[in-house]
Amino acid sequence: MFFDRASQEGDKPFLSAKIDGEWRSTSWTEAARKVAALAKSFKKMGLKPGDRVMLVSENRPEWCIADLGIMAAGCITVPTYTTNTPGDHQHILDNSGAHAVIVSDSKLAKNLLPSVISSSDANIIIGISDLRIGQSGDFELYDWDKIVQGTDEDVAEMTEQAAAITRDETACIIYTSGTGGKPRGVMQPHRAILHNVKGPTEVIETDFGWDDEVFLSFLPLSHAYEHSAGQFFPIGLGAQIFYSEGLEKLASNIEEVRPTIMVVVPRLFEVLRARLIKTVEKQGKMPNYLLGKALAIGEREAEGQSRKRDKLMDMFLNKTLRPKVQQRFGGRIKAMVSGGAPLNPDIGVFFQSLGLTMLQGYGQTESGPIIACNRPRTGLKMDTVGPPMIDTEVKIAEDGEILVRGELVMKGYWRNQDETDKVIKDGWLHTGDIGLIDEAGRIAITDRKKDLIVNDKGDNVAPQKVEGILTLQPEILQAMIIGDKRPYMVGLVVPDPEWALEWSREQGMAYDFVKLQANPAFRKAMREAVDRVNKSLSVVEKVRRFEFADEPFAIDNEELTPSMKIRRHVIRERYQDRLNSLYKK
């Protein structure tokens, strides 16, 4: 697919990154030469089809070229998060049996090298940037620039060899984020990735129209969602991919790049929503009035209660507020696609109200990952994830679990047949998600089968729903609730630092995140936020008591996965005594 696209697109820009303050592009032709040269270099190094190659790098053009080069050689990519600890790297190296490692720079190599040195299989290291290694070991070191110098003849040779690779061969082993323990390696065959290109392409063609698409890559490419939807999907479209400079520069990157499609996780939408509200609040009465009107109209539309008298105001908003909001996103966004975790419907309604098309996707690493996606053609109902992708079978089991069948299903877990047999039965992938299919064929996810809380009376509570509503409050940054086999729900909350800072100023106090949490007035303010949420919850869902976390949940303290999902078992273990004490008061 890539070599075909490269021959069609030629000298058009393909991969773009900011270097020394300027966006610089690699053309399709240049990328194809590098991919072919890299694939040939792997063979010269002694790598054989089926060998695993670990890839440790931030998002950049070389990531894509490395991934394609590994696959073109018939090898298997093992993408790895840059935030991994040495222990994480050791587990993945040992489990995958990788023979080679591609690492972007010395900083990442420092965390990785002890694992490589102790690994019996990895004996090749390729440094994308200049590596300064102060350690010795039984491995060969290669310089990136020297092994990616290719010609058109190399492209022709490797295109012919790549054509012999079958759809069922393993393309990559992606290690799941591990919300419940050690990550498992998901074997994604080429068919699963191609299926994940075909489905979204059909959505773009039929619902939006296919043109010169531009993607801004932000999520880690080592995550299945960005790997398929943010890399191979745009390759299939012949789109240009820009690589973001990071979260702190994301807003300016969006305005510069002006993407047509963005692939994002819900947490980022929550941050963008909060920033937009604060920006509008500072602009005076009229912008705030218009924002209120836009949200009210959007909420009525979402509930199927549109009013004829809203049309005039809707037209006025299309001329005033919405163009300004759209301009902050570059002005030509066709769709923002949320995935990786459940999206709170209120977030979706918020952005739809402001004229930005929001699609919620659904899937998991084991399905390549995309199973379903909202689309305008079937109605954008924000409490659903839309209908299944083309050529994807979905059914609901007797216990409510969502089952999936098709080319998107993984081959299994690497070197773990027992776990494979638990989730793939008679060709059906058992997702572990509970849901239903509505009259329009749209899937609604109610919760994770494993995450469901069952209280002491046997009532089921979906924690993600409650936590999602809690974090919509301006006072609360993050939350986690528990209540399994207990009489009621209790929660652990992280106050929003910006809100807490503002609250301290209003009280004439010095801001201290830790001391503030012991302040009775501050605790009362947080209690009021929780009580607001409780008004919208059923009796069994209400959060009766709460405590504060010592610090925000983060990737660094291992309380968040790299895809921004909370690691419940880690947080429960750390705060076990504090949470248990809430049942003793």
pLDDT at 509: 87
The DSSP line for 274-319 is HHHHHHHHTT-HHHHHHHHHHHHHHHHHHTT---TTHHHHHHHHHH
218: left (phi over 0), alpha (psi -120 to 50) or beta: alpha
What domains can you pick out in the chain, each with its CATH number?
2-165 (3.40.50.980), 453-581 (3.30.300.30)
CA separation for the pair 501, 555 (Å, rounded): 23
Residue 533 and residue 469 in contact, taking contact as beta carbons nearer than 8 Å: yes
pLDDT at 136: 56
CA separation for the pair 357, 380 (Å, rounded): 9
Write the CB contacts of 514 (distance below 8 Å, at least 6 apart in sequence).
Answer: 550
pLDDT at 93: 92
pLDDT at 465: 85
Residue 34 and residue 148 in contact, taking contact as beta carbons nearer than 8 Å: yes
CA separation for the pair 96, 51 (Å, rounded): 9
| Distance in Å from the first CA to the final CA of the chain | 62
**Exposed/middle/buried for residue 461 (C-beta within 10 Å: 0-12, 13-18, 19+):** buried
Between strands 428-437 and 424-425, the pairing is antiparallel
Q: What is the pTM of this model?
A: 0.83
pLDDT at 585: 59
For 250-260, letters b (16+ CB in 10 Å) and e give: beebbeebebb
CA separation for the pair 388, 376 (Å, rounded): 14
Closest CA to 189 of 427, 3, 366: 366
CA separation for the pair 36, 148 (Å, rounded): 8
pLDDT at 179: 47
Q: What is the CA radius of gyration of the chain?
A: 25
Phi, psi of 148 (to 5 degrees): -120, 20
209: left (phi over 0), alpha (psi -120 to 50) or beta: left
**Exposed/middle/buried for residue 535 (C-beta within 10 Å: 0-12, 13-18, 19+):** exposed
3-state helix, strand, coil in the chain (%, to 5): 40, 20, 35
Residue 412 and residue 468 in contact, taking contact as beta carbons nearer than 8 Å: no
Amino acid at 360: Q
Three-state SS for 430-480 is EEEEEEEECCCCCEEEEEECCCCEECCCCCEECHHHHHHHHCCCCCEEEEE
Q: Compute mean pLDDT per 10 residues along the chain, 585 residues long, and list them.
A: 97 96 97 98 96 96 98 97 84 93 87 76 84 66 94 97 96 78 89 97 92 93 94 97 92 94 86 86 92 94 88 94 92 90 85 92 94 88 92 94 97 96 96 92 83 77 88 94 91 93 90 86 94 90 94 90 83 92 82
